């Protein structure tokens, strides 16, 4: 059984995204504009998956390093 590797983001990326209302796709890593800090499962323009999350949600999920 393969173990799925989760993407992680730096604290600096999360802080900048939070200040600018950006988010990230946790599937492909693409940055998304106009995303509320608490956004969950928004569609990703890069990969099409509903895996865009706001900066605060990413931090809560423990996906920052």
pLDDT 10s digits, 4-52: 556 899 999 999 999 999 999 999 999 999 999 999 999 999 999 999 9
The answer to whether residue 26 sits within a structural domain is yes
pTM: 0.88
| Residue among 42, 65, 62 nearest 32 (CA) | 42
Write out the residue range of the structural domain in which residue 39 sits: 11-60
What is the model's pLDDT at position 3? 45
What is the model's pLDDT at position 65? 87
Rounded to whole angstroms, how far apart are CA atoms 39 and 35?
A: 6
The answer to whether residue 17 sits within a structural domain is yes
- Count Cβ atoms below 10 Å from residue 48 Cβ, excluding itself: 11
The answer to whether residue 30 sits within a structural domain is yes
Provide the number of structural domains found in the chain: 1
| Residue among 22, 47, 1, 50 nearest 9 (CA) | 22
The answer to whether residue 65 sits within a structural domain is no
């Amino acid at each position: 059984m393969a173990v799925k590797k989760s993407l992680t983001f730096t604290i600096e990326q999360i802080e900048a995204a939070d200040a600018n209302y950006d988010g990230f796709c946790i599937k492909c890593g693409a940055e998304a504009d106009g995303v509320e800090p608490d956004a969950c499962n928004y569609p990703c323009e890069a990969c099409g998956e509903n895996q865009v999350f706001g900066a605060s949600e990413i931090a809560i999920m423990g996906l920052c390093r």
